[in-house]
Amino acid sequence: MRPAPTPGKYPVRFGTAELLRDADRPNAWVISVDGVAQSHVDLDDPQDLEFDYIRRIADVVDCLGEGPLDALHVGGAACTLPRYIAAARPRSRQLVFDADGELVALVREQLGLKGLKVRVGDGREGVSGRYDASADLVIVDAFERGVLAGGLATVEFTSEIARVLRPAGTYVANVSDGPNLPFLRRFLATLASSFPHLAILAEPGVLRGRRFGNIVVAASRVELPVPEMTRRAASSAYPARCVAGEDLRQLQGKAKPIADAEALPSPVPPKDVFGIF
């Protein structure tokens, strides 16, 4: 039997990680880095998802038919989503890339990574090293101090993801934005350069530009399961809107794709937006 995790603060590559016990669940844990919440995992029930944007990503995954998936994850932290997919879709083959080796070691020691394959290194380089048409799903959720690295939101990297995905594969990304959604609009234009079908999930207040928050973006070369995604978003414990089709094209407007030469990072979140709950 594994020893119980030890709450406390630990130095990692991108700052100071803190491991906290969830007061409401006997074996659930939260990891933050420099006060920014990174992951929540319930070791007794990996399908119990606390963070709203993680639940929305899982909803997209749940709508992708049945059976195991070949999945790549860029950004892992405590590997909430890989744990979820492993529990919900047994025999899935998954590979996680995370740039913070010290954080990976902390998670492995304190929370365990049994059955999960995690590689320490740059996620973009990791994806570029994969074979053509080798994945059913690519999930990008890689933030440093609340900001998505600019190199993960470019046309060039998007084309690499499209290359690695099978023809009916799905790309899901977590991004964040604030009033008027300028970064989201450009990110949508970037994804549209490789994927004809897009959809987003977010709280209505975020989509109206009233507050800063997470937006989950799904992209594919085939039709996305928008009706089912819409139903799940509306009935979730964290109700959200699903926007696709013409409404999404209007939101994107005349925004220009992001290229490597620019490598525009996502906006810095206001203080305490992504803090410990």
Domain spans in the chain, listed from the N-terminal domain onward: 44-252
Q: How far apart are CA 22 and CA 26, in angstroms?
A: 7
Predicted confidence band of residue 118 (pLDDT cuts 50, 70, 90): very high
Average pLDDT over residues 102-124: 96
- Over 90: is that where the pLDDT of 196 sits? yes
pLDDT of residue 264: 82
Q: What pLDDT, on a 0 to 100 scale, did the predictor assign at position 6?
A: 94
Q: Is pLDDT above 70 for 18?
A: yes
pLDDT at 150: 65
Q: How confident is the model at residue 236 (pLDDT cuts 50, 70, 90)?
A: confident
Enter the CATH code of domain 44-252: 3.40.50.150
Q: Which pair of tokens denotes residue 196? A: 């004809």
**pTM of this prediction?**
0.95
Percent of the chain with pLDDT over 70: 96
* Most trustworthy range by pLDDT among 175-179, 195-199, 238-242: 195-199
The answer to whether 119 and 95 are in contact (CB under 8 A) is yes
Q: Are strands 135-140 and 70-74 parallel, antiparallel or unpaired?
A: parallel
- Answer yes or no: is pLDDT of 272 > 80: no
- Report which residue type is found at 129: G
pLDDT at 277 over 70: no
Mention every residue, 6+ apart, whose C-beta is less than 8 A from residue 189: 252, 255, 256, 257, 258
User: Above 70 in pLDDT, residue 165?
Assistant: yes
